């Protein structure tokens, strides 16, 4: 099992780089760089490439609607070259609030677009021939009746360091998860519950795996939670309340919220409705308080050493291959000690 962490997206590049440098020395394997509607993710990925030595630098995630497929491929190839082969391209649809509200781009066909983007990226990196793609959502080159007629197939000028940069996909819905299991290198679920994941996604993962090409290898599953070890560490679980309330309660309308649907599929139907009602009524603190204690406990790595060890095993037993943690400590040295300890346990 590898160890990963998620970098916040509220700015502070210098602080983020210092954190990743310290945790890299402690044994961190992967740093996921988020991109929402703050600074772009690629700037920090490039900075990390220059300031680190061994940690893999992953987009976690780049929204599929904000860049063309070939630009996504070029970006990943560039970061991969800067980092000497340490890039992971993380892709996801984000949500209508960001894509339509902030970018002004229609939020449509996330599964079909993701599939075609992955196909195009791998064509670009392979650099065997000029890229030609005649898909439902992307056409390369653009046909004469759509464009000027001057566009011709092109091959990326520079030679990518690797012809197969790993692609991780953030997916929640049944069809998206199945597609991810079929063609991606890694799966990035959110609000992952190790004891209930198989009930929610097991059939979808199996359906995708049945179509998976042998040359892709095993699908990585990246999930985890808040990390704190020791006396009183259980209190850290409450730090997740605002995030859970935001996603379950506020990331969508009452009748269209992917995360609320997931919470219901986990068996928290009443809590999902209460959290959403409170959040959309402007009662964010009350919405956080309505998040079940059991969910916070079962999806965290915050407690005494025995509890955390048991949680790590539960994640591993559920199929997680990359433990994605948020270390909570008073300072950076404390975070590094947490990472060092967990790294020693998982090998």
> Tens digits of per-residue pLDDT, 222-257?
999 999 999 999 999 999 999 999 999 998 889 889
In this structure, are 67 and 174 located in the same domain? Answer: yes
Joined together, the tokens standing for residue 270 give: 């009443």
Residue with tokens 């179509």: 211
In this structure, are 242 and 126 located in the same domain? Answer: no
Q: CB of 323 within 8 A of CB of 1?
A: yes
In this structure, are 34 and 181 located in the same domain? Answer: yes
List Cβ<8 Å contacts ≥24 apart for 276-279: 276/248, 276/249, 276/250, 277/249, 278/245, 278/249, 279/245, 279/246, 279/248, 279/249, 279/250
Q: Based on the number of CB atoms within 10 Å of its own CB, is 335 exposed (0-12), middle (13-18) or buried (19 or more)?
A: buried
Check residue 11 and give its pLDDT. Answer: 66
In this structure, are 54 and 112 located in the same domain? Answer: yes
In this structure, are 270 and 322 located in the same domain? Answer: no
Mean pLDDT of the chain: 96
Whole-angstrom Cα distance, residue 26 to residue 211? Answer: 38
Say what percent of the chain tops pLDDT 90.
Answer: 93
In this structure, are 223 and 284 located in the same domain? Answer: no
Confidence of residue 12 (pLDDT cuts 50, 70, 90): confident
Whole-angstrom Cα distance, residue 124 to residue 235? Answer: 48
Dihedral Cα 274, 276, 278, 282, nearest 10 deg: 180
In this structure, are 117 and 89 located in the same domain? Answer: yes
> Tens digits of per-residue pLDDT, 54-81?
999 999 999 999 999 999 999 999 999 9
Which pTM value belongs to this model?
0.96
Find the largest Cα–Cα distance for the chain.
68
In this structure, are 257 and 190 located in the same domain? Answer: no
Query: Is pLDDT larger for residue 147 or for residue 187?
Result: 187
In this structure, are 172 and 262 located in the same domain? Answer: no
- For residue 335, which of 241, 236, 191, 190 has the smallest C-alpha distance? 236
Residue 207 — φ and ψ, nearest 5°?
-65, -40
Check residue 8 and give its pLDDT. Answer: 77
Check residue 147 and give its pLDDT. Answer: 87
In this structure, are 35 and 172 located in the same domain? Answer: yes
In this structure, are 145 and 262 located in the same domain? Answer: no
> Tens digits of per-residue pLDDT, 176-220?
999 999 999 999 999 999 999 999 999 999 999 999 999 999 999
Pairing of the two strands 186-188 and 167-170: parallel
Confidence of residue 139 (pLDDT cuts 50, 70, 90): very high
Over range 143-160, report the average pLDDT. Answer: 92
In this structure, are 34 and 139 located in the same domain? Answer: yes
Check residue 87 and give its pLDDT. Answer: 98
Whole-angstrom Cα distance, residue 177 to residue 202? Answer: 10
Pairing of the two strands 133-134 and 139-140: antiparallel
Domain count, the chain: 2
Domain range enclosing 174: 2-233+302-346
Question: The domain spanning residue 106 has which CATH number?
Answer: 3.20.20.30
- For residue 179, which of 169, 189, 165 has the smallest C-alpha distance? 169
Q: CB of 89 within 8 A of CB of 165?
A: yes
Joined together, the tokens standing for residue 295 give: 């969910």
> Tens digits of per-residue pLDDT, 18-49?
999 999 999 999 999 999 999 999 999 999 99
Confidence of residue 279 (pLDDT cuts 50, 70, 90): very high
For the beta carbon of residue 337, count every other beta carbon within 10 angstroms.
15
């Amino acid at each position: 099992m590898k160890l990963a962490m998620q970098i916040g997206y509220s700015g502070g590049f210098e602080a983020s780089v210092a954190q990743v440098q310290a945790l890299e020395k402690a044994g961190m394997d992967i740093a996921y760089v988020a991109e929402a509607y703050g600074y772009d993710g690629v700037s920090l990925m490039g900075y990390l490439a220059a300031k680190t030595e061994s940690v893999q630098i992953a987009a976690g995630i780049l929204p599929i609607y904000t860049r063309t497929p070939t630009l996504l491929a070029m970006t990943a190839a560039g970061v991969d070259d800067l980092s000497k082969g340490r890039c992971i391209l993380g892709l996801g649809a984000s949500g209508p609030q960001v894509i339509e509200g902030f970018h002004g781009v229609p939020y449509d066909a996330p599964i079909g677009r993701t599939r075609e983007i992955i196909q195009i990226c791998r064509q670009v990196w392979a650099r065997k021939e000029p890229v030609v793609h005649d898909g439902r959502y992307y056409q390369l080159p653009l046909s004469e009746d759509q464009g000027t007629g001057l566009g011709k197939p092109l091959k990326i000028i520079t030679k990518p360091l690797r012809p197969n940069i790993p692609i991780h996909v953030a997916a929640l819905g049944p069809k998206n998860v199945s597609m991810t299991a079929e063609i991606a290198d890694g799966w990035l679920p959110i609000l992952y519950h190790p004891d209930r994941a198989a009930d929610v996604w097991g059939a979808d993962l199996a359906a995708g795996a049945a179509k998976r090409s042998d040359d892709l290898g095993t699908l990585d599953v990246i999930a985890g939670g808040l990390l704190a070890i020791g006396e009183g560490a259980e209190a850290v679980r409450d730090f997740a309340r605002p995030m859970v309330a935001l996603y379950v309660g506020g990331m969508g309308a009452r009748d269209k919220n992917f995360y609320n649907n997931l919470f219901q599929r986990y068996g928290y139907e009443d809590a999902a409705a209460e959290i959403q009602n409170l959040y959309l009524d402007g009662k964010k603190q009350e919405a956080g308080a309505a998040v079940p204690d059991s969910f916070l406990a079962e999806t965290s790595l915050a407690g005494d050493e025995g509890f955390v060890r048991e949680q790590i095993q539960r994640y591993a037993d559920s199929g997680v291959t990359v433990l994605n943690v948020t270390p909570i400590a008073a300072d950076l040295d404390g975070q590094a000690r947490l990472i060092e300890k967990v790294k020693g346990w998982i090998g």
